Structure 1
């Protein structure tokens, strides 16, 4: 053992003992003073705490980290505490305990942690003394937080509003707990399976200096390595003026795993470094020589004299000493070679410290303007199946996001002045709601989270009888009862329909009463025989006409009568045979990977049995394609789009084939290989079949390799017409031939794809039935933007419907009963979306406003122009007295926020200074989100019943 190693071990023992002795005390232990002397009064917040590097050497930054999924194969609790199951990794609690002890033992060690869902739980379980010790580690930069969100979110299936919310939650915890020292400077998205441009834009607006990625397409990686473009500037918005959404981006060399043969976790197989030459297991020289060769090889693909090596992996550091003692030896042994002329310097580092050295190199970096989808880790191995896997769960997430934006029952009680037993009806999509089906009298409260009034068609299952519906003023409202055939049971269920009008950021209360037990003349479904008197049948309202073939039952044509746009459209359901692997490549379709057996899908059926329903409020064509696939094509009165409610499942697999089911639209549009998808619900990206903007693609899967994530919409167009389909959840979609558009709605597979799940995408029993909606719009190209952008907003944040028996007690004595309420004194302009309104303290609100149109997106209606608002007298219950603008995640004041400056190889303006905020004139540029903490006077009870909605 060398003298240096012996000295370090002596310090480690002393510090470790002192740390253990200090636990449980309310006073800082003595070893904190020693660390203060060693580290000096450095701080993590401004990079001052970064370790010294050698300017004339190759600096190898070792990043000790763990990647801890917040729920995956096991639950969050199982991952946190661990278990006896051999398949279950060590618990995160044990990881953090172990890392904390290891950092105490040696002052040179550093560690990176990411997931605040786990860390915040661990933090609240610690003693005061341990918390103080951790705060000192954070201040010194030895414990660095990267990313800092509640989770490391996926980028393909996520909506931007949910991304902002979960990042705000995690960063708010860090700000409250560690102040500026705990603020992450680097986004760390090492495990998402492809990367979206909108995610990078959001990170830039949150104030991050850069992002590091683990997974990029294998062809993309190879091309970047050859051209030494593993690090770049990502221009993540086509609307925001550079460098507002510019983000330095680095592609890590080994995904996020340790280099080959250099993994010393208890989950790995490598032998520890033995540095005693007299030991028969001595391998130190072999490890050092291998490390130097590998470092030199990696350096060939990067541009500076700094490279990074990730030293960790999934749930690593359960026994942190195993990792750290080997890294200690590696650093000492490699650096000792400098005495013999080696020009390699190894050090404990962090993502932020590595990024800082890249910035100091003052190079010009290439610019990327597209995204990193789709992702493949080899030929025939496209991770595009998970865009649609678990469709019911994906819809649940979207509904949950909507619900979290709404006021809860206590707020409704305060606002309405009446304490009611409010309930929701989560089973409405299967025509089930207890209160409406058993009650002769009840109230319906519809809440609108948008900043503009909305018209909403309420549809509730009811029991027999006739009903009287009254609006908030007591006036009778037109209503209908229609019979809804249930494809699963073949038993029609009566459903009550009535149109509701709901003010901006408010609610309306409608009263429902059964006035007779006599069965009314229900609007019954009418069966259409195959050879009817007419070859076609139609449903239409003032704006839209849809034509169907009476022979096949399939949609034939859509007409936008207001714009005089007509388009032949054939829509039906198909399924791809799921590959089970072959002799050359045992790659099957699975939870992640999409690999169809053949290019051409098979039709579920060549024709559909159809039933027609018509009333004064709705016209419907019910299509039965098979006993496991059906659809209702619906057109409400006054609606400017066609609604397709599909029901798929249980998918049959008795024939031995897994099936991947799509809804496909075929048109004669000349699309020239192009189609368009949204990025996390915001900006639109152009897609081109069999093409990647940044490298020459060798296409190995013409179907799966052309699938992209669709969060809210996908469309095709020629020079005149545009066909847009909006989704109610994230799905995979594509245009595999000109004029065609398809969305994958459900998957049931018989094989695992060997990507970690360990089982096929196969539910127990007969399988899962999934019901969802596609909204179809046909427009002239120059008229399309306004319609699909605003409809997508209403779909994501649709009104929430609450039911109550009615007749509740007053909320407080003398409280007026309200049947209608708006939180705004005036509506927001159509281009402005109220993204966030949450209580942020005793007299403060967190307020986010966004311009939801892209630059040049809607010139016809002038919705892409900047817009100026007066916020001071906008809200009806509070008055804004002061605004402080912050970064997007609300963890930094905008005026004091600064980011590292990078030099792209294209033009970019200087970073704009933060202007003083005047609440009477807030201007939003296209695609701009502005975040404010607003001091207010007035009653805050409507917004939240908690002091701080993000308090833990």
Structure 2
């Protein structure tokens, strides 16, 4: 591991001696005492205004991460994070009363590495004295709509680990701080609660919701963020900041602001102290207590911190001087933790919220629901990269020391971890950045893939006993793989990152017409050669030359691999051929999908096991994007905002040209709707899901109108205007058309105002049928009509939506100069509502953590191990292995989760017990200790504020510790995190 890329070491918490428990108990107690000592005193009989100096530093947006840090490309935006930190530290040292909070560990980590030992000691002193406080503390401030929970947990863990190791308990954030994300997910609140945060503050919520809360003095509340976890496990105090994250109008004193400074020389004609103080005292802030929080800062501010602090010092002095004349306002430097402590001391009761804060609108026609789909290719790449990172982490552990240093070089997973962490930023995977920044995010991920390929190759060499060169084919989705296209004999290694066996379809580009496929036991596997579709040829252009695809299904053991040998036959049956017709149906033993012979469209879907049938028609449409020239509103669609200029989408074609393919491995209906929209409806032999592989683009804009393309599923299900979406890939929430659970909605955008983020799945149901759609990336969608579900697939827009990015969402590339082409998959299941989760939960996990294919050319060495599992036995169906990653030389981080919600499955919603010592096949577990979700505190020592939601309500009892450290019981939706001390068997 190169020194400049080394992950900070961490005190490995293991229950080896009681001294560890004493140490961490002191840590938590010390942090509470430190908080009380570092906060300025407040006045009990006055209105206390907590001034919070802060900067909001996007980890990429208009400029790349590097450009923001160094202050490069100031022609785009004047911003230099390194200078902000330099300046703030200098100004904090000049006055011990001053405070500052910092959020983005990605930037702070980089700055810290460049500091001298003397400066590091100075900063540690500021942190220890509470003058510099870290809030949130993740590698970035993640998006909440388009991120998957596993990636969010990873990036939070990485940032908090660095702070914990560098500063100890005084550097541990107590407050989650998401001041800029564009809507707020319930699952994020649940995760923050399980990470030990006392509270959560944000700035953006729907304008109607904000108006109602201001009127009712309900801007601070208790968010109960899980229907399954026992309170207060997922309860989180939540505060809505009064000015977003900006200072009040007229009180911005950054070099980027135009507000006049406080001129306090009474001999000067422009003396303005009285005017400033009077305006400040007139600010109307409606909260329940005699404490209010005021954010003093904004995007990339404090590069010249002296401007801010000199004026804030004066503001505090002159406002508080009015107390001698009877003023009841007290102003002080503060932090979110200090403010939250005062709210807790108030001992009031708070309202309870159980839904989320989506969708977000800042005005009647300005719904920020377009970014749920913006940049669909980047969203897919991020999701694939998350899967690859988990595989890389697992193999880094299972391969032992050999994985970091083996026949394929020296490397580790750090580059990929950092790239994935940056990609979670709310202007990254969200798709709301400039094009050159999106390219930089993709480049970082690609660099991470290259580093992890070394780790994976080394690990597979160690586990298989073969050091044959491994080939990676990253363009299989467009049938490109030079090895399989040209080799007469090769092997396919299938690594499964799930803790249960999986069956997975493999499609390899080939030029032969017949192949023999053997599994790890030397048994023949049913395989078929089929022609590459015309749509695939069109997308790949000149990047491959395969005429055919070799299809077969593989089975891979839990947390392990299986190897398949492929040989070209000299003589064999000809490839399967397509027929230019629409078949009446395609079916396997589980599902039957019928087609209308006149239109070529789907007409019904049946579950053959349960004898269910629904009418199902699926087609493609596009919304005409508003250009802003409207008498109603001048708001155009853009990277953030979805605003169609009509509630009725345009159908791309009412009929599809079709050809069909039927083999023993797969049945397909290939559909063409237009030169820029095609689809394959596909059913594999052993699949419980119907696959819709869509290809959309380049979106034509010759008519000077942007297009937002959807697919719509119209069914016979009586959904009553209700549909369901997941929250960051975990718990499912009910959505109702034109309805918000906590206020009376005045709907002004009937389409965009009914769109919600779909991270991994959505469904509609009635008493008999449930149709679930599993997505392969984050997308936006809604149920606009009864029995209908629509999902937005692609967007191309010609106008900027005036939210700061400053360019239209008009993606092109060297390969696609005429416009980006996106390809993806939707998986459809039909079940009884009471058992649907038994299908869609594991299916969604398979899509998120899909098997990794690696290839070797020619014959393998006879002693090569062809099959391996890292587990002694598969985990129970309800249990998902969320994290397995190297932490120290002899320690690994393990997360296990119960992946079902309470009551959603008759079979799988009971508590499940797992024995940690009997978990792994190659690792002997010597010690274990439980941590909180973010792995920066002992679980048993984690303390959080208790909050009252009704008069006289007492805090719920906390969960007792398991009697055995080895026997771990998981209840529905519970994630449990462990540090294990291990050695290779």
Q: Please, what TM-score do these two structures have when normalized by structure 1?
A: 0.91
Return the offset for 1:878: 1.3
Matched with 2:915 is 870
Residue in structure 2 matching 1:777, options 829, 854, 872: 829
Q: Secondary structure at the match of 2:580?
A: strand
Question: 1:466 & 1:720 partners in 2: Cα distance?
Answer: 45
Matched with 1:523 is 576
Return the offset for 1:666: 0.3
- Per-residue displacement from partner, 1:692-728 (whole Å, max 9, x unpaired)? 0000000000100000000001100111001110100
Q: Secondary structure at the match of 2:918?
A: coil
Residue in structure 2 matching 1:794, options 846, 863, 871: 846
Q: Secondary structure at the match of 1:646?
A: strand
Question: 1:809 & 1:337 partners in 2: Cα distance?
Answer: 86
Return the offset for 1:333: 1.0
Distance 1:832 1:84, change over 3 A: closer
The residue correspondences of 1:360-439 to structure 2 (distance < 5 A) are 360-406=345-391, 407=395, 408-439=456-487
Q: Secondary structure at the match of 1:165?
A: helix
Question: 1:310 & 1:333 partners in 2: Cα distance?
Answer: 19
Question: 1:84 & 1:456 partners in 2: Cα distance?
Answer: 46
Matched with 2:234 is 245
Matched with 1:467 is 515
Moved more, 796-805 or 134-143: 796-805
Residue in structure 1 matching 2:940, options 895, 898, 901: 895
- Per-residue displacement from partner, 1:126-152 (whole Å, max 9, x unpaired)? 000000000110011110000000000
The residue correspondences of 1:275-314 to structure 2 (distance < 5 A) are 275-294=264-283, 297-298=284-285, 301-314=286-299
Question: 2:532 & 2:681 partners in 1: Cα distance?
Answer: 12
Matched with 2:504 is 456
Residue 881 of structure 2 corresponds to residue 828 of structure 1: no
Question: 2:969 & 2:960 partners in 1: Cα distance?
Answer: 13
Return the offset for 1:498: 1.5
Residue in structure 2 matching 1:511, options 554, 565, 588: 565
Return the offset for 1:661: 0.4
Matched with 1:557 is 604
Return the offset for 1:872: 1.1
Contact 1:233 1:247 in 2 (8 A): yes
Residue in structure 2 matching 1:354, options 336, 339, 347: 339
Moved more, 378-387 or 518-527: 518-527
Question: 1:416 & 1:488 partners in 2: Cα distance?
Answer: 34
Contact 1:868 1:921 in 2 (8 A): yes
Moved more, 823-832 or 665-674: 665-674
The residue correspondences of 1:473-488 to structure 2 (distance < 5 A) are 473-487=521-535
Residue 493 of structure 2 corresponds to residue 445 of structure 1: yes
Distance 1:44 1:630, change over 3 A: farther
Return the offset for 1:355: 0.4
Question: 1:920 & 1:361 partners in 2: Cα distance?
Answer: 41
The residue correspondences of 1:908-947 to structure 2 (distance < 5 A) are 909-912=955-958, 914-916=960-962, 918-938=964-984
The residue correspondences of 1:701-780 to structure 2 (distance < 5 A) are 701-764=749-812, 765-780=817-832
- Per-residue displacement from partner, 1:71-96 (whole Å, max 9, x unpaired)? 11211100100125333222101111
Return the offset for 1:489: 4.0
Matched with 1:104 is 93
Question: 1:256 & 1:713 partners in 2: Cα distance?
Answer: 32
Question: 1:274 & 1:176 partners in 2: Cα distance?
Answer: 44
Contact 2:221 2:352 in 1 (8 A): yes
Distance 1:186 1:237, change over 3 A: same
Q: Secondary structure at the match of 1:358?
A: helix
Distance 1:633 1:114, change over 3 A: same
Contact 2:948 2:955 in 1 (8 A): no
Q: Secondary structure at the match of 2:678?
A: strand
- Per-residue displacement from partner, 1:638-665 (whole Å, max 9, x unpaired)? 1111000000000001112111100000
Question: 2:233 & 2:74 partners in 1: Cα distance?
Answer: 48
Q: Secondary structure at the match of 2:189?
A: helix
Question: 1:83 & 1:838 partners in 2: Cα distance?
Answer: 35
- Per-residue displacement from partner, 1:476-498 (whole Å, max 9, x unpaired)? 22211111213264698300112
Matched with 1:133 is 122
Residue 900 of structure 2 corresponds to residue 853 of structure 1: yes
Question: 1:273 & 1:912 partners in 2: Cα distance?
Answer: 51
- Per-residue displacement from partner, 1:455-481 (whole Å, max 9, x unpaired)? 111111012242221111222222111
- Per-residue displacement from partner, 1:894-932 (whole Å, max 9, x unpaired)? 111100111113866524155156244211111100101
Equivalent pairs counted in the alignment come to 881
Question: 1:920 & 1:311 partners in 2: Cα distance?
Answer: 49
Matched with 1:255 is 244
Contact 2:894 2:980 in 1 (8 A): yes
Question: 1:43 & 1:666 partners in 2: Cα distance?
Answer: 56
Contact 1:44 1:139 in 2 (8 A): no
Return the offset for 1:284: 1.5
Return the offset for 1:281: 2.6
Distance 1:467 1:492, change over 3 A: closer
Distance 1:908 1:443, change over 3 A: farther
Contact 2:928 2:966 in 1 (8 A): no
Matched with 1:904 is 949
Question: 1:423 & 1:43 partners in 2: Cα distance?
Answer: 53
Question: 2:93 & 2:464 partners in 1: Cα distance?
Answer: 56
Moved more, 406-415 or 589-598: 406-415
Moved more, 87-96 or 159-168: 87-96
Structure 2 residues not aligned, in runs of 5+? 1-29, 396-455, 539-544
Question: 1:414 & 1:203 partners in 2: Cα distance?
Answer: 38
Q: Secondary structure at the match of 2:377?
A: helix
Q: What is the root-mean-square deviation of aligned Cα atoms in Å? A: 1.6
Return the offset for 1:817: 2.7
Residue in structure 1 matching 2:681, options 633, 640, 651: 633
Contact 2:488 2:568 in 1 (8 A): yes
Contact 1:469 1:510 in 2 (8 A): yes
